[in-house]
């Protein structure tokens, strides 16, 4: 049984969860209505206003976890599509995209023998400072129950973490954002066309000098 730590306000559910693991706790979730210092990948700030879904939870870390971020993305997409009818696409490696805009993000961090998964989804929050972001509320005009989305997502993640790599890769491919479109690839410092992911989860792109494999970095749609 997972313990639940629920807050109306916190600095970051991810930082709180990290401190819990470091003090020997495991098998828990941390949920907050609002984060004053939410963080995304590469140390970026993560806007976390009231109404959105902001939570972190831990799982055992084991070697197959090289595809963990992709597995979590696939799990979140399945829940949002099957239970809420939102055709969320997956932008490699960790973004949740709706109508070409960012509706959420995933961060996975190894802490001792645990993997800490942080998920942020713009559900019922109203104000977004970024132009290229969207909320469920913008999209459907309806509010959703954050706690029940979170529970479904955690259940689905627990299944997908144990799934075969080939299953994860197939589902990610089928729901990949920006396929065949020109994007700016940060690690290449140039534009390229998004082609696919390979069996190890690497991103395959086509540049003016041919096909390249990408192992890290960001992609952004060229307008
Ligand atoms: C990203 O797109 O860079 C990942 C964003 C992850 C944000 C979530 S919100 C809940 C958890 N707490 C944090 O401070 N960050 C993650």
Which atom of ligand 1 lies at the shortest distance from residue 13's CA?
A: 12
Question: Please, are residues 219 and 183 in contact by the beta-carbon 8 Å criterion?
Answer: yes
My answer on whether omega of the bond before 93 falls inside 30° of 0, hence cis, is: yes
- pLDDT at position 131 is 80
pTM of the model: 0.96
Q: 181: which 2 tokens?
A: 């479109």
- Residue 222 reports pLDDT greater than 80: yes
- Residue 146 reports pLDDT greater than 70: yes
**Percentage of the chain exceeding pLDDT 90:** 86
Residue 25 three-state SS? coil
Bridge partner residues of 117 (DSSP): 57, 108
Measured distance CA(203)–CA(193) in Å, rounded: 11
Residue nearest to atom 3 of ligand 1 (CA): 40
Question: Please, are residues 11 and 37 in contact by the beta-carbon 8 Å criterion?
Answer: yes
Closest CA to 17 of 33, 61, 8, 6: 6
- Residue 64 reports pLDDT greater than 70: no
- pLDDT at position 65 is 59
Enumerate residues lining ligand 1, CB below 6 A: 12-14, 35, 38-41, 44, 46, 48, 54-56, 94-95, 105-107, 118-120
Query: pLDDT per residue over 167-200, tens digit each?
Result: 999 999 999 999 999 999 999 999 999 999 999 9
- Residue 59 reports pLDDT greater than 80: yes
Neighbours of 113 (CB within 10 A): 11
Query: pLDDT per residue over 204-221, tens digit each?
Result: 999 999 999 999 888 999
């Amino acid at each position: 049984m997972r313990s639940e730590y629920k807050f109306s306000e916190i600095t970051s559910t991810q930082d709180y969860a990290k401190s819990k693991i470091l003090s020997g706790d495991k098998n828990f979730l941390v949920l907050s209505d609002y984060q004053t210092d939410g963080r995304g990948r590469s140390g970026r700030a993560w806007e976390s206003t009231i109404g959105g879904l902001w939570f972190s939870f831990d799982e055992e870390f084991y070697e197959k976890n090289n595809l963990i971020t992709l597995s979590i993305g696939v799990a979140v997409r399945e829940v949002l599509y099957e239970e809420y009818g939102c055709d969320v696409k997956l932008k490699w490696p960790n973004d949740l995209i709706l109508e070409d805009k960012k509706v959420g993000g995933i961060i996975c961090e190894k802490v001792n023998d645990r993997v800490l998964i942080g998920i942020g989804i713009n559900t019922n929050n109203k104000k977004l400072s970024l132009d290229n972001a969207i909320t469920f509320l913008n999209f459907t005009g309806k509010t959703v129950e954050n706690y029940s989305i979170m529970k479904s997502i955690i259940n689905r993640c627990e299944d997908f973490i144990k799934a075969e790599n080939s299953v994860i890769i197939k589902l990610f491919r089928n729901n990949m954002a920006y396929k065949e479109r020109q994007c700016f690839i940060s690690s290449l410092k140039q534009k390229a066309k998004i082609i696919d992911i390979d069996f190890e989860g690497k991103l395959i792109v086509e540049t003016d000098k041919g096909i390249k494999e990408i192992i890290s970095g960001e992609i952004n749609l060229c307008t």
